[in-house]
Chain A
Amino acid sequence: MRMRLIITAASIAALSVPLTAKTITVEAGADAQAKLQEALIIAEPGDTVQLGEGRFTLTDGLSLDVAKVTVKGRGASKSILDFTGQLGAGEGLLVTSDDVVLRDFAVENSKGDGIKSKGANRIVYYKLRVEWTGGPKATNGAYGIYPVESKDVLIDNVMVRGASDAGIYVGQSNNIVVRNSLALENVAGIEIENSFNADVHDNLATKNTGGILVFDLPNLPQMGGRNVRIFENVVVDNMTPNFAPKGNIVANVPTGTGVMVMANRDVHVFDNMLGNNGTANVMVLGYRYPYEDPKYDPIAKGVAIWGNQHDRAGWDPKIPGGAQLAEALGGSFPPIFWDGAGGDAAKPYVGDLVQALSLGLTDLKASPETAQPAMLAASTETVTELPKIVLPDSMEAVVR
């Protein structure tokens, strides 16, 4: 095997013959760290790094920096990258090259994030499991699946459990699809942050603190998050008490949050099944923390909510002053509420056949005690639907 690799490398160098893709197989066992990392380094564009069955006991983070490489296991319950004994690096697996496919394996108990891809365009995450096996704990890593600063991202058929921040987190990226996935027992199930153009659909987000979040935060290289569609998801029973380390923005997500939109533009939430979320099935908020950044827009605008099925929600709103407000409202919040940030110009469109509340906190600096709760009148205007996200065919071909 080693000889063949050398020949291939040398013949390319000497004759520039086109490369035929090869498969580098790595089995679990002694020295898995060095063997797997070396395979990820010597792989050439077009190659597949095939993981054998079993548990790979790893001591350090792994990384891939070669374009067009597929890392493939024998299944998310069969090929397991086990980082329980990790001594260094900020994540389990880091990808920094384009056109990479990660599929059919699991990452367990990484000390920091599970799988991070940065500046990795056209990445495909498929049939993966990222899990902190002890369940929800503040000592778990932050993000399970973590693409950032990337164009064209597909996350399909993954399962993430136990992340102390977001299970599936897409940050500062563009053209994104998250679908057919399960986010279980994370602080945030799925989070789209400071990103443009995302479709989040056909996912199940349950037993998180918050099911699906769409956020925009200040002081970051990419801001102005917009054009996000959340549809045909099941977002139920997100009642796990918030276990995020404080200081992180998700530590402020109220337990019992279904879908939460904060400081974005044009976010459409439709045709979802929502229920058993004690704070709200859908909430729309401004960014209500002190910041200094003239380029940042803290108001959520152009949010539209329609066609969703609502089960019970709002019986225990964990927002500041929530209990008193609920009492004033007869004991419970309606399934949808808006903090009122930005006033009428920012009022969300609500087409659902349930009540929706405004807290009337138009000014971002207003304290919750000054809330002027009022039911929102049914929206009568029409909404122009956002276009479907289309990914390059090379990405869809992987999962077809």
Chain B
Amino acid sequence: MRALLAAFACLALALFARSGAAVPSGSVSDTAIMATENPPLLSAFGFFKGGADRPSAALTAYALATPLFSDYSEKQRFIYLPANGKLTVEPSGRVKFPVGAALVKSFGYPDAAGKLSIIETRLLLHRSDGWVALPYVWRADGSDAELKLGGARVPATIRHAGDKDQAISYAVPNKNQCKQCHSSKDKIEPIGPTWQNMIFQSATDKARLSAQAQLPKNSLLADAVWNDPKSGSVEKRALAYLKINCGHCHRPTGSASNSGLFYDDMVAGDAAMGIGKRPVAAGRGSGNFDFVIEPGHPERSILLYRLKSTDPGIAMPELGRSAVHKEGAELLEQWIREMKR
């Protein structure tokens, strides 16, 4: 028995050492991405050459036309594809990534001098048995980031144009909370990347990724961009905002499926969009109002009430909402005010 335990211990140490092994500078460790255990330090993957501001050349940076609001944090998004890895873009524009791919997303705020200070980096790793979501929190000296399965709270300051600085308790999600948003039928999946919603920093990046992508035969119409009036009507922009900020949970396969309130691609009629729909499990989230959306009356619509609250028993979305997204709320207010039914 003791010998057996010792053997286990040796194996464990060997595995542990391998996943923690130093990676040659500039190259990403496919082994770490595919491993069954999760490295305690972010450096094991080789996504960064030291600090968060030095991404590996193997990563492709991208942005989203309409991003998810997370307490006004700035986000840096990267795709890693293994050698010979191919993307498949579905007719809807949703991007399917090969096994071995990784999505890397860093969150931070500019400091008083305007320099971006990264708090955390979240990973979505496409392993052979599915996607895994892992949160890493950067050390104060920025030398490396540590795996925080249980999440963390970090003090941060929002410096938003035209507003006073706002001190918040920034929440790094725990591993389960990652899944809460990133799940469909109880399986983890990426939610942001649809081909038409992705913006690449350089034409070269886009060309390189396109060469690795199988694009659909149909043309992909760009979604309206929530804050660009030239990109579409108020309604189109409001729906684009709701899809990105709410539709990952509020869809029939998401974690808010029981609400019957849906903002995914497949809009299923007025009631499913909240128009004239009474709350079900809102509790004090109802704010004493009768309907999720009352056309013409944003001030009596539960949607706006919850969007504008930071109380955890009321606020929607449930995560990343220590602050209110004023500009998003203004767009939805205008949409509901002008709504005729």
A40 at the binding interface (Cβ < 8 Å): yes
Q: A37-B149, A171-B258, A247-B282 are in contact. Are A10 and B179 (CB under 8 A)?
A: no
Residues of B within 8 Å of A36, CB to CB, are: 150
B206 at the binding interface (Cβ < 8 Å): no
A191 CB to nearest chain B CB (Å) = 11
Q: Could you tell me if A87 and B260 are in contact, using CB atoms closer than 8 angstroms?
A: no
Could you say which interface size class chain A belongs to? 35 or more
User: Interface stretch among B22-30, B240-248, B272-280, B326-334?
Assistant: B272-280
A328 at the binding interface (Cβ < 8 Å): no
Residues of A within 8 Å of B169, CB to CB, are: 87
Q: Could you tell me if A246 and B322 are in contact, using CB atoms closer than 8 angstroms?
A: no
B207 at the binding interface (Cβ < 8 Å): no
B231 at the binding interface (Cβ < 8 Å): no
Q: A10-B8, A220-B258, A247-B279 are in contact. Are A112 and B16 (CB under 8 A)?
A: no
Residues of A within 8 Å of B284, CB to CB, are: 138-142, 164, 245
Q: Could you tell me if A165 and B283 are in contact, using CB atoms closer than 8 angstroms?
A: yes
A144 CB to nearest chain B CB (Å) = 11
Q: Could you tell me if A221 and B180 are in contact, using CB atoms closer than 8 angstroms?
A: no
A369 at the binding interface (Cβ < 8 Å): no
A156 at the binding interface (Cβ < 8 Å): no
Q: Measured between alpha carbons, how far is A301 from B59 in the docked complex, in Å?
A: 62
Q: A11-B11, A65-B179, A112-B313 are in contact. Are A6 and B286 (CB under 8 A)?
A: no
Q: Measured between alpha carbons, how far is A194 from B100 in the docked complex, in Å?
A: 42
Report A285-299 CB contacts with B as 1/0, cut-off 8 Å. 000011111000000
Residues of A within 8 Å of B180, CB to CB, are: 63, 94, 96
A35 at the binding interface (Cβ < 8 Å): yes
B167 CB to nearest chain A CB (Å) = 13
Residue from A65, A221, A245 within 8 A of B257 (CB atoms): A221
A121 CB to nearest chain B CB (Å) = 11
Q: Could you tell me if A289 and B278 are in contact, using CB atoms closer than 8 angstroms?
A: yes
Interface size for B (C-beta < 8 A) is 56
For B174, the closest partner residue in chain A by CB is A37
Report B85-111 CB contacts with A as 1/0, cut-off 8 Å. 000000000000000000000000000
A278 CB to nearest chain B CB (Å) = 24
Interface residues in A6-61 by Cβ distance below 8 A to B read 6-7, 9-11, 13-15, 33-38, 40-42, 59-61
Q: Could you tell me if B283 and A245 are in contact, using CB atoms closer than 8 angstroms?
A: yes
A143 at the binding interface (Cβ < 8 Å): yes
Q: Could you tell me if B276 and A37 are in contact, using CB atoms closer than 8 angstroms?
A: no
Q: Could you tell me if B287 and A63 are in contact, using CB atoms closer than 8 angstroms?
A: no
Q: Could you tell me if B286 and A248 are in contact, using CB atoms closer than 8 angstroms?
A: yes
Q: Could you tell me if A247 and B11 are in contact, using CB atoms closer than 8 angstroms?
A: no
A149 at the binding interface (Cβ < 8 Å): yes
Q: A13-B15, A38-B149, A64-B176 are in contact. Are A248 and B9 (CB under 8 A)?
A: no
Q: Measured between alpha carbons, how far is A142 from B287 in the docked complex, in Å?
A: 12
A76 at the binding interface (Cβ < 8 Å): no
Residues of B within 8 Å of A10, CB to CB, are: 8, 11-12, 15-16, 37
Q: Could you tell me if B186 and A119 are in contact, using CB atoms closer than 8 angstroms?
A: yes
B209 at the binding interface (Cβ < 8 Å): no
Residues of A within 8 Å of B291, CB to CB, are: 247
Residue from A33, A139, A165, A172 within 8 A of B258 (CB atoms): A172
B337 at the binding interface (Cβ < 8 Å): no
Q: Could you tell me if B176 and A87 are in contact, using CB atoms closer than 8 angstroms?
A: no
Residues of A within 8 Å of B270, CB to CB, are: 292
Q: Measured between alpha carbons, how far is A374 from B36 in the docked complex, in Å?
A: 70
Residues of B within 8 Å of A247, CB to CB, are: 278-279, 282, 286-291, 302
Residue in A110, A119, A290 with the greatest tally of chain B CB atoms within 10 Å? A119
Q: Could you tell me if A41 and B176 are in contact, using CB atoms closer than 8 angstroms?
A: yes
Residues of A within 8 Å of B313, CB to CB, are: 90, 110-112, 141-142
Residue in A11, A36, A148, A248 with the greatest tally of chain B CB atoms within 10 Å? A248
Report A154-198 CB contacts with B as 1/0, cut-off 8 Å. 000000000011000101100000000000000000000000000
Residues of A within 8 Å of B278, CB to CB, are: 217, 219, 247, 249, 289, 291
Report B162-187 CB contacts with A as 1/0, cut-off 8 Å. 00000001010011110110000010
Q: Could you tell me if B312 and A33 are in contact, using CB atoms closer than 8 angstroms?
A: no
B126 at the binding interface (Cβ < 8 Å): no
Residues of A within 8 Å of B208, CB to CB, are: none
For A171, the closest partner residue in chain B by CB is B258
Interface residues in B276-318 by Cβ distance below 8 A to A read 276-291, 302, 311-313, 318
Q: Could you tell me if B286 and A245 are in contact, using CB atoms closer than 8 angstroms?
A: yes
A188 CB to nearest chain B CB (Å) = 12
Residue in B5, B150, B276 with the greatest tally of chain A CB atoms within 10 Å? B150
B333 CB to nearest chain A CB (Å) = 19
Q: Could you tell me if A35 and B283 are in contact, using CB atoms closer than 8 angstroms?
A: no
B55 at the binding interface (Cβ < 8 Å): no
A364 at the binding interface (Cβ < 8 Å): no
Q: A111-B312, A292-B276 are in contact. Are A149 and B150 (CB under 8 A)?
A: no
Residues of A within 8 Å of B260, CB to CB, are: 219-221
Q: A60-B171, A148-B258, A220-B258 are in contact. Are A88 and B319 (CB under 8 A)?
A: yes
Q: Could you tell me if B258 and A118 are in contact, using CB atoms closer than 8 angstroms?
A: yes
Q: A59-B153, A88-B318 are in contact. Are A292 and B280 (CB under 8 A)?
A: no
B151 at the binding interface (Cβ < 8 Å): yes
A273 at the binding interface (Cβ < 8 Å): no
Q: Could you tell me if B8 and A217 are in contact, using CB atoms closer than 8 angstroms?
A: no
Interface residues in A204-254 by Cβ distance below 8 A to B read 217-221, 245-249
Q: Measured between alpha carbons, how far is A6 from B284 in the docked complex, in Å?
A: 43
Q: Measured between alpha carbons, how far is A65 from B174 in the docked complex, in Å?
A: 12
Residues of B within 8 Å of A42, CB to CB, are: 149
Q: Can you give 8 contacting A-B residue pairs, CB < 8 Å?
A: A10-B15, A15-B8, A35-B150, A88-B318, A96-B176, A113-B283, A142-B283, A249-B278
CB-based closest 4 A-B pairs: A142-B283, A247-B286, A10-B12, A37-B150
A-B contact sample (14 more), CB < 8 A, given A13-B36, A112-B285, A245-B287 = A7-B5, A13-B37, A14-B15, A15-B8, A37-B150, A88-B171, A89-B177, A96-B179, A96-B255, A172-B258, A220-B280, A221-B258, A291-B278, A292-B276
